[in-house]
C-alpha cells in the first residue's frame, strides 16, 4: 500500500526546488546548491517511489501510448509548476502549462503534441494534448 501523503510531500518538495531554480539565473550564487539539493530530492524520490510510479506509467503507456518507452518517473515532472495556493485542507496545489511533461505518441491523438506529466495533491498523471485537452489518466490511492 502506498503512503499517498509521503508521495505528495516528496513531489511538492521537488516542485518547490524546481520552481525556485526556474526563478533564479545560472549566475546566482545559490544556483549550484539548489540544483544539488534538487538532484538529491529526485534520487530519494526514485528510490522510494520509482517502482510504484514506473508500474503506473507502464499502465498509462500501455493504454494511451504503447509505442513509447517508459522513462524514469522524474522525467515526467514539469520544468516548472504553477503555484495555485492551498486547498481548504491546507494542501499545496499546483498545475502545469501546456507543453510540460514527456512527449508521447498517443494512439487516440495522432499527429497532435501529446504529453504525460506528473502532478501532486493528489499524486496523479495527466495526459495533455496541446492546449485543447487534458485528462487525468492515473491517480495514487
The domain spans of the chain are: 4-139
The answer to whether the predicted template modeling score (pTM) of the entire model surpasses 0.85 is yes
pLDDT of residue 1: 62
C-alpha cell at 76: 515526467
Q: 503506473: which residue's cell?
A: 56
Contact present, 117 and 134 (Cβ < 8 Å): no
121 to 18, 62, 111: CA distances (angstroms) = 16, 24, 31
Q: Which of 54, 34, 48 has the alpha carbon at shortest distance from 4?
A: 48
pLDDT of residue 137: 98
pLDDT of residue 76: 98
Mean pLDDT for each 10-residue chunk of the chain (141 residues)? 89 96 90 96 97 97 97 96 94 94 96 96 96 96 88
Q: Which of 86, 115, 119 has the alpha carbon at shortest distance from 99?
A: 115
Q: How far apart are CA 89 and CA 11, in angstroms?
A: 18
Q: 506509467: which residue's cell?
A: 57
Amino acid at each position: 500500500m502506498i503512503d499517498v501523503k509521503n508521495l505528495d510531500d516528496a513531489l511538492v518538495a521537488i516542485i518547490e526546488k524546481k520552481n525556485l531554480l526556474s526563478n533564479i539565473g545560472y549566475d546566482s550564487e545559490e544556483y549550484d546548491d539548489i540544483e544539488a539539493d534538487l538532484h538529491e530530492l529526485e534520487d530519494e524520490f526514485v528510490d522510494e517511489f520509482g517502482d510504484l510510479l514506473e508500474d503506473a506509467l507502464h499502465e498509462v503507456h500501455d493504454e494511451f501510448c504503447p509505442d513509447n518507452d517508459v522513462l524514469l518517473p522524474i522525467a515526467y515532472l514539469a520544468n516548472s509548476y504553477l503555484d495555485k495556493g492551498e486547498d481548504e485542507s491546507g494542501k499545496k496545489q499546483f498545475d502545469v502549462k501546456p507543453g510540460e511533461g514527456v512527449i508521447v505518441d498517443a494512439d487516440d491523438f495522432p499527429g497532435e503534441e501529446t504529453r504525460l506529466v506528473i502532478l501532486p495533491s493528489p499524486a496523479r498523471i495527466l495526459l495533455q494534448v496541446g492546449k485543447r485537452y487534458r485528462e487525468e489518466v492515473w491517480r495514487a490511492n
